[in-house]
A and B are shown apart, each in its own frame.
Chain A
Amino acid sequence: MAGMARARSRRALWADGGPALALVAVAALLPAVASSEYVLLAASMIVTALVAVSFNLLFGYTGMFSFGQAAFYGLGAYATALLMNEASFGFYLALAGAVLVAVAVAALSGAVLVRMEPVAFVMLTFALSALLEFGAEHTPNLAGGDSGLIANVPSGLNVVVDVNGVYYAMLGVASAVLVGVFVFVRSRAGLIVRGIREDALRARTLGVRVERRKLGVFTLAGAVAAVGGGLSVLSDQIVYPDVFDWRISANALIVTLLGGVGTFSGPVVGAVALGLIDFYVGKLTTDTLLVEGLVLLGVILLAPRGIVALRIRSRSGRHI
């Protein structure tokens, strides 16, 4: 019995993590077979995936609908660039510092936000990112204002010099974050958090400190999004106030839905899928909003559980 249960849990583990693992493996081999155009595309997918993973932690696992993950993505980007420029930190040290900044802001704002009614939480997370965008635009001396902040990227990590090197640095960091998130969602804490999503009242009755757990996830999600922002500094070499744009938060939502909300691999699969759609559609038209709207609509109506669920269902034979 115990052996069977273990085998089943192992199968579930591979089903949940397998697609992401497969994509990471493909990503690792990509520079050998593809031109730099596709390597750069994959680099942007890595960044998108991390923001989506962050959103999924909140929405998919905990049931908290954040519409402001751009706030932490942007903080990660600005803090990484500023720490490199002003404090002459190396990239990895700056990234670590940026994560701390995001954690601090998430913990402070989250202490208020997680107590809000769900709809107010949606709107206030949105307002937080809008406020930060205003702040970035209006602090020309610190954040470069709307001219943006050009990051002094170390010469060893200059994307124009060594696109593959930068790509592997990004992939390495992102993989480490994915591993961390995987451990979290598979742990007891991850289970408790899902319990809150299913029934917060019951969880509370069972002695779970709901607000504290929610704050924990909000902070973790902030850190993950900040890593995404920090990595974007490597590929872009500039940070601009539109890192706080609500479309980044919306994009995380679309990507997560497309891949499969509440699954570990969903956001990663979705980031790759939407990245490819945008890439090929972008060659045909500049009106990508219409296409993204149609993708979102299609997913909500036709495949609310996302690509990952399609795969799992078809394998188990219940659905073709």
Chain B
Amino acid sequence: MSLATFIGQLFAGLGLAFVLFFTAAGLNLVWGVLGVMNFAAGAVYMLGAYLTTSVIARLGASALGWTVALIAVPLAVAALGAVAEVALLRRTYREEDENRQFMLTLALSYLIAGGVVLVWGTHFRTVSLPRALSGSWSVLGATLPVYTFVTIALGLAVTVAIWFGLYRTRAGLLTRAAVDDREMLAVLGVNVDRLYSAVFAVGIGLGALGGVLVAPQGAVSSNLETTALVPAFIVVVTGGLGNMPGALMAALAIGILESFAALHDATLAQLTPYVVMSVVLGARALAGRRGWSAAAQLRARRTRRERAPAGSTAG
């Protein structure tokens, strides 16, 4: 393999990885704090992409149109997420059955997918990139699309922002505290409801951001929902539920390996997420470690504790 090929594939793989990471990070954040596996993540990704086509179609494929889409679409979808959290999810946290939350997000995904058909119809949509982003750069003999640089740069920026937000701000401190003990936080006078809404909104916004980035790169259609969801689930499980660095590593491994696997067989390359997941889960089982993060274990312990009294009265 020539150096140019190597760089080309590595670069393309990084592009794949970061788009995957946005959705996975959103899933992880919501799971880690709210304990909700957000099935609507794929639909949110698709919604972000459709909204982007509308914004760019209205403002033109200029730097302005693209920047507005990049900022406004995730914010708008995040606001929608906050509304959904307040109206639907909030009433369920105190219930025993955490499956109802998953079902609510499933209903949300149906509503978004149905709404997309209602608003945009079934015809695929497509918009251009601004001229400045649609070219390519030549690096060591490899031709690399400018837009992939943008995706990777944004991916790194968001990764840093997530880390900074979680570990260097008061909101992040509270968020991490909420993972450990929600009741204690409430006793200390923190508005946990508002914190949850904010976290859900951020998680949804991250998913939409992936959709924004992918929209001008190809055709936008209802395919996006499932093509985003399955690999993102796999990334989250492989990285360890609620484990942000784990998800980043899993996304990078899957993206880069898939890109290199494409050199040999494009069809089998599509199996990369499953292969990586099997290897990681298998290795973890052999090492005797449980398949999820410390935070999730805490959560599991907590729910067990909370459920114990309910169980004894029922029995």
Asked whether A304 is an interface residue with its Cβ less than 8 Å from the other chain, the reply is yes
User: Once the chains bind, are A293 and B104 in contact (CB under 8 Å)?
Assistant: no
Asked whether A12 is an interface residue with its Cβ less than 8 Å from the other chain, the reply is no
User: Once the chains bind, are A250 and B315 in contact (CB under 8 Å)?
Assistant: no
Asked whether A130 is an interface residue with its Cβ less than 8 Å from the other chain, the reply is yes
Q: With CB as the reference atom, state the residue of chain A lying closest to B268.
A: A138
Q: Which of A198, A202, A300 contacts B103 (CB 8 A)?
A: A300
Q: A116-B291, A123-B237 are in contact. Are A293 and B103 (CB under 8 A)?
A: no
User: Once the chains bind, are A297 and B234 in contact (CB under 8 Å)?
Assistant: no
A297 to chain B, nearest CB (A): 4
Chain B residues within 8 Å of A126, by CB: 230, 233
Per DSSP, chain B at the interface is: helix
A110 to chain B, nearest CB (A): 15
User: Once the chains bind, are B37 and A117 in contact (CB under 8 Å)?
Assistant: no
Chain A residues within 8 Å of B234, by CB: 123, 127
The segment out of A24-32, A216-224, A268-276, A284-292 that lies at the interface is: A284-292
User: Once the chains bind, are A296 and B267 in contact (CB under 8 Å)?
Assistant: no
B213-272 with Cβ < 8 A to chain A:
226, 230, 233-234, 236-237, 241, 267, 270-271
Chain B residues within 8 Å of A65, by CB: 99, 102
B39 to chain A, nearest CB (A): 8
Q: Which of B99, B102, B113, B274 contacts A127 (CB 8 A)?
A: B274
Contact with B along A174-216 (1 / 0, CB 8 A): 0000000000000000000000001101100000000000000
**Residue tally, chain B, CB below 8 Å to A:** 42
User: Once the chains bind, are A250 and B106 in contact (CB under 8 Å)?
Assistant: yes
Asked whether A294 is an interface residue with its Cβ less than 8 Å from the other chain, the reply is yes
Most B C-beta atoms less than 10 A away, residue of A117, A123, A296: A123
Asked whether B141 is an interface residue with its Cβ less than 8 Å from the other chain, the reply is no
B106-124 with Cβ < 8 A to chain A:
106-111, 113-115, 117-118
Q: Which of B102, B117, B277 contacts A122 (CB 8 A)?
A: B102
User: Once the chains bind, are A290 and B114 in contact (CB under 8 Å)?
Assistant: yes
* CA A304 to CA B109, docked complex, whole Å: 19
Asked whether A246 is an interface residue with its Cβ less than 8 Å from the other chain, the reply is yes
A304 to chain B, nearest CB (A): 7
* CA A118 to CA B234, docked complex, whole Å: 15
Interface residues on A, range: 35 or more
User: Once the chains bind, are A138 and B267 in contact (CB under 8 Å)?
Assistant: yes
* CA A234 to CA B290, docked complex, whole Å: 44
* CA A296 to CA B234, docked complex, whole Å: 26
A288 to chain B, nearest CB (A): 8
Asked whether A120 is an interface residue with its Cβ less than 8 Å from the other chain, the reply is yes
Asked whether A33 is an interface residue with its Cβ less than 8 Å from the other chain, the reply is no
Q: With CB as the reference atom, state the residue of chain A lying closest to B35.
A: A119
Q: With CB as the reference atom, state the residue of chain B lying closest to A119.
A: B37
Asked whether A84 is an interface residue with its Cβ less than 8 Å from the other chain, the reply is no
Chain B residues within 8 Å of A127, by CB: 230, 233-234, 237, 274, 277
Asked whether B300 is an interface residue with its Cβ less than 8 Å from the other chain, the reply is yes
Chain B residues within 8 Å of A201, by CB: 304
User: Once the chains bind, are A296 and B230 in contact (CB under 8 Å)?
Assistant: no
* CA A288 to CA B117, docked complex, whole Å: 10
Q: Which of A198, A294, A301 contacts B315 (CB 8 A)?
A: A198
User: Once the chains bind, are B115 and A290 in contact (CB under 8 Å)?
Assistant: yes
User: Once the chains bind, are B106 and A287 in contact (CB under 8 Å)?
Assistant: no
Chain A residues within 8 Å of B114, by CB: 287-293
Chain A residues within 8 Å of B194, by CB: none
* CA A290 to CA B31, docked complex, whole Å: 26
B310 to chain A, nearest CB (A): 9
Q: With CB as the reference atom, state the residue of chain A lying closest to B111.
A: A293
User: Once the chains bind, are A297 and B315 in contact (CB under 8 Å)?
Assistant: no
User: Once the chains bind, are B106 and A290 in contact (CB under 8 Å)?
Assistant: no
Q: With CB as the reference atom, state the residue of chain A lying closest to B271.
A: A134
* CA A253 to CA B109, docked complex, whole Å: 14
User: Once the chains bind, are A130 and B311 in contact (CB under 8 Å)?
Assistant: no
A200 to chain B, nearest CB (A): 9
Chain A residues within 8 Å of B277, by CB: 127
Q: With CB as the reference atom, state the residue of chain B lying closest to A293.
A: B110
Asked whether A131 is an interface residue with its Cβ less than 8 Å from the other chain, the reply is yes
User: Across chains A and B, which 6 residue pairs bring their CB atoms closest together, nearest first?
Assistant: A290-B114, A293-B110, A289-B114, A293-B111, A296-B107, A297-B107
Q: Which residues of B contact A (CB under 8 A)?
A: 31, 37, 88, 98-100, 102-104, 106-111, 113-115, 117-118, 226, 230, 233-234, 236-237, 241, 267, 270-271, 274, 277, 290-292, 296, 300, 304, 307, 311, 314-315
